[in-house]
Structure 1
Amino acid sequence: MRSLFFARPELTWLRVYTFTIFGTSVLVASYFPLYYAQLGFSNTQIGLLYALGPMISLFSNMLWSLTSDRYRTVKKILMLLLLGQIMMTVFLSMSSNFTMIMFCITIFYFFFYPVFPLTDTLAISTAKQYNKNFITIRIFGSIGYATFAIVIGYVLTLIGSKWTLGVSIVIALASLIFSMFVKDRVTDVAKVNLSGIWSILKQKELIWFFGCVFCLAIGLRMNDAFLTISLHDLGATENLIGWSMLASALTEVPIFILLNIYGDRFKELPLLIFASLMFAVRFLLMGLTNSPYGIIGVQMMHGVSFGVFYVTAIRMLTRLIPDSYRATGLALFTVMWSSISGLLSGTFGGMVFEHFGRSNFYLVAMAFSVLACCGFASRYLFREPRGPRDIQRTM
């Protein structure tokens, strides 16, 4: 009883922090592109600015996660990253020239992207410490995303998109304050070295998994980069865009709850196949609709696509990678899920959107989802006859 009493404040602060940190994710993913459009940038330029983040995160995720594993601290790294975000957002708010914004946003992304895999690392470690499911903490990120999506939409409708960066500073500052009350968590880590990471990457199943994740992520990141631009082109206001973000984020919550209760009854590969298929259907419908309200309706498929995929992918990843390399493993996952895919979807997707139109843009996104579905299905049908625990024991 005593331990449970003292556990509650720690879990509460971590949930509050997780709730708040996803507010910055809403801004960067959904409202930064509108801010760039207000400055007069073209879709190709916006795509390039979006691609800068994933390009920087290719090494920033690994750098900060390796540092976290090496010095056995997550909390201090998170606080440093949030402080860097705040400083660079201030500089970004002072710029309007495309070249200068490219420079500032590059450094901003260096601090922004590693926050989320490290937050997941902290949540997983804390949940394991108290024999709870990681989803019981991560679900507050989805609730926070939904809440901030609608609140930010209303706020920016009232004060204008020019205050986007000011709102970002406020949310990042709140996240920094809440992070001070979060208890640091470390595992008994092995000494970080390249040979240890290479032993992880030599797993054939892990390489296949990352390849399928990469294909699936391209379509999702294309949608992330140009969803708000699509809505804006169809006449949606910031307020309506906020409702679109709310519709997608809220659908994650029941999916997370259901998978928390019943997820272990289903094997990972069938769930990943299902999620990939739902992504393909979702992007097909996105390409067919010509109404902002239609897009909001399609966005409600986010839970059965992203929600199912994310929970299952984390579950599979924690099985394939030992605890001693958890932060590094999640960083590798983020590199495939967000960094490399985001780099390609931003540059390539921007050109497709500008030169071939929105409908063809989403057909391309659908094609990548179908490819990922085929990859997961092939592994399920032709997998080697050995169990999951056998794979883990080879580590």
Structure 2
Amino acid sequence: MKDPSLKPYKNVVLLHYASIGFLMPLFNLYLSNQLGFTNTQVGLVLSVSPIVALFSQPFWGMATDYTRKMKEVLLVVLSASCLLGLLFVFKKSFSMTFLHYAAFSFFFTSIIPQMDGIILWKLNQSDGVSYGQIRYLGSIGFALASLAMGFIVDLTHINAIFLFYGIAALVAILVLHRMDGQAEVVKGQLGNDLRNLFRVKEYHLLLLVQFLLIGTSFGSGNYLGLYLQERGQTIAIIGFVFFFMAFIEIPFMVKARAIIQSVGAPRVLLLCTVVSTAKLYVFSLDIPVFLLILSTAAQSVVVGLSFPTVVEYIRAIVAPTVLTTAISIYNAVSYSLANWLFILLAGKLSDRSGFQGMFKTFSYISLLGILAAAALLAFTRVRRAPGDA
């Protein structure tokens, strides 16, 4: 049975991921083509976002868990990132772009963990609906936006990515006002639950798995657009590739809970690390472009399964009073610290040995992720952690 109160949550997810689809797939091309930065400079700018998020995400997460004002905190980070994103239309030097992107990232990188927290809080009140059944709308929004943006930029100007990002973010802000988000304040538990959070061994292993999986997969993925451009592809084709990847994610997002319940979260994560490692190695080969584009479907499997699996697993093993903080720390470690290190490394390797050399090196590093996921599976077989089959 459909719950009409979930509609604004679904719309905010759709709009926010659409705003990401308008902005992020072509942002590195803006830095490279419009501002004339080298691959190393592009890597430095992109790497500031995850290192800022390493501090901003836990900050906003604890602010939410302390005040329990979920909607208000989400409104702050969404509004500030909208304004700062629009200001990118003004061309700046490398140092000013670096500082601008750092300020933007302080708010932008915290939107998803804040959004996930308020969605999980709402799902605890709605029977029969999984996180993946809402999150898949983000894949649709990202897919359509990235596809459209490629054609729009080809017809207009690269600065169009900031205009469309701002429009989508503004509409999301308006829809946000229709959401709930004032959780019941539970006094005297937050401090104890935070201490207990760091005693959960499964949580530690999960952070290690995702550090290696997200770091190698997404750190290298930041250069996919530049790699395809080097292989002679247009911006419209690059936009189509991101659309293709996001579109393939959708069925995996929708069916993620059933797969988790069937084989267990640790096995799903082990599968994701294996698929990601294979994808990175294939990217390093000198294969025809159409096969390269088809192989990006492996990234869709990783995203479509790992995102809802991790969120549902965290939901199962941590206390509700620190759920947003736990998700924020997870994002800080995997999408922030790992991205910072691996984006920098990818830029250096790309300048030194080319994109194919970078992908091959990352495929070797990704083997460590397989070992970490196997360790998580072995540990949960002994402990039988909640959420495991």
TM-score bracket relative to the smaller structure: over 0.9
**Counterpart in the other structure of 1:23:** 18
**Which of 347, 352, 356 pairs up with 2:349?**
352
Which amino acid is the alignment partner of residue 363 of structure 2?
A: M
Which amino acid is the alignment partner of residue 247 of structure 1?
A: F
Cα distance in 1 for residues equivalent to 2:185 and 2:134: 22
C-alpha contact (below 8 Å) 1:146/1:250 kept by paired residues: yes
Q: How many angstroms does 1:138 deviate by? A: 1.0
Question: TM-score, normalising length from structure 2?
Answer: 0.93
Which amino acid is the alignment partner of residue 105 of structure 2?
A: Y
Q: Deviations over 1:107-127 (max 9, x none)?
A: 000110000011111111212
Cα distance in 2 for residues equivalent to 1:292 and 1:75: 44
Q: How many angstroms does 1:183 deviate by? A: 2.3
Whether 1:172 aligns to 2:172 is no
Whether 1:158 aligns to 2:155 is yes
Superposed counterparts of 1:262-281, under 5 Å: 262-281=259-278
C-alpha contact (below 8 Å) 2:19/2:168 kept by paired residues: yes
Q: How many angstroms does 1:309 deviate by? A: 1.8
Question: TM-score, normalising length from structure 1?
Answer: 0.92
Whether 1:56 aligns to 2:52 is yes
Change (3 A) 1:252 1:390: closer
**Which of 49, 61, 67 pairs up with 1:65?**
61
**Counterpart in the other structure of 2:284:** 287
Q: Deviations over 1:19-43 (max 9, x none)?
A: 0101232244311101101210000
Cα distance in 1 for residues equivalent to 2:83 and 2:238: 27
Bigger Cα displacement from structure 2, 95-104 vs 372-381: 372-381
Bigger Cα displacement from structure 2, 301-310 vs 187-196: 187-196
Q: How many angstroms does 1:289 deviate by? A: 4.1
**Counterpart in the other structure of 1:341:** 338
**Counterpart in the other structure of 1:133:** 130
Q: Deviations over 1:90-111 (max 9, x none)?
A: 3332232111111111100011
SS of the aligned residue for 1:96 comes to coil
Change (3 A) 1:226 1:194: farther
**Which of 228, 231, 237 pairs up with 2:228?**
231
Superposed counterparts of 1:1-395, under 5 Å: 7-8=3-4, 10-38=5-33, 39-131=35-127, 132-186=129-183, 189=186, 191=188, 196-381=193-378, 385-389=382-386
Q: How many angstroms does 1:261 deviate by? A: 3.4
SS of the aligned residue for 1:260 comes to helix
Cα distance in 2 for residues equivalent to 1:127 and 1:278: 30
Cα distance in 1 for residues equivalent to 2:8 and 2:40: 41
Change (3 A) 1:370 1:152: same
- Taking only the aligned residue pairs, the percentage that are identical comes to 19
Q: Deviations over 1:19-71 (max 9, x none)?
A: 01012322443111011012100000000111000011011101111111111
Change (3 A) 1:177 1:390: closer
Which amino acid is the alignment partner of residue 373 of structure 1?
A: I
C-alpha contact (below 8 Å) 1:216/1:368 kept by paired residues: no
Which amino acid is the alignment partner of residue 277 of structure 1?
A: V
C-alpha contact (below 8 Å) 2:212/2:366 kept by paired residues: yes
Which amino acid is the alignment partner of residue 202 of structure 1?
A: R
SS of the aligned residue for 1:385 comes to helix
Bigger Cα displacement from structure 2, 320-329 vs 205-214: 205-214
SS of the aligned residue for 1:202 comes to coil
Change (3 A) 1:389 1:37: closer
Which amino acid is the alignment partner of residue 267 of structure 2?
A: P
Which amino acid is the alignment partner of residue 179 of structure 1?
A: L
Aligned residues, how many? Answer: 386
Q: How many angstroms does 1:190 deviate by? A: 5.1
Which amino acid is the alignment partner of residue 54 of structure 1?
A: P
Cα distance in 2 for residues equivalent to 1:253 and 1:368: 28
C-alpha contact (below 8 Å) 2:17/2:138 kept by paired residues: yes
Change (3 A) 1:28 1:55: farther
Change (3 A) 1:62 1:189: farther
Which amino acid is the alignment partner of residue 42 of structure 1?
A: T
Cα distance in 1 for residues equivalent to 2:279 and 2:182: 38
